[in-house]
Amino acid sequence: MVIMHQMPQPRLGPHPQHPRRRPGARVPHTPLRPRWTCRAWCQQWPCAQARLLLKAEREGRMASLAIYLAGLMYEAMHDLYCLNPNDGPSPRALFERFVAWNPFRRSAAEVEEP
């Protein structure tokens, strides 16, 4: 039997404040930790709406968004593996979910030096 107060607590890390809740708005599309589901739609976070809001908030600063999402991916890995260490999501699945959709990606041709 697992006693709830003995379960590991989520560590401090990048706080998922984006997108911020606006006055008069409905339930925000922010992550519900430690399960990392959308508060509004109960889907895996970031949901489609959260992705749109994150892009809009970081418009013109896509590198900043990539760094922010990578930090959240790290925190999600920790939380999700602590919740279910034997059947957690694969690292590739978490990368696809958190980082790969970000438009700030350069092709290998752009990275290679001439």
> Is the pLDDT score of 12 beyond 70?
no
Q: How confident is the model at residue 38 (pLDDT cuts 50, 70, 90)?
A: very high
Dump pLDDT digits (tens) for 70-86: 999 999 999 999 998 88
Question: Residue 70 has which token pair?
Answer: 């990578």
pTM: 0.67
Residues 10 and 17: their CA atoms lie apart, in Å, by 16
> Is the pLDDT score of 111 beyond 70?
no
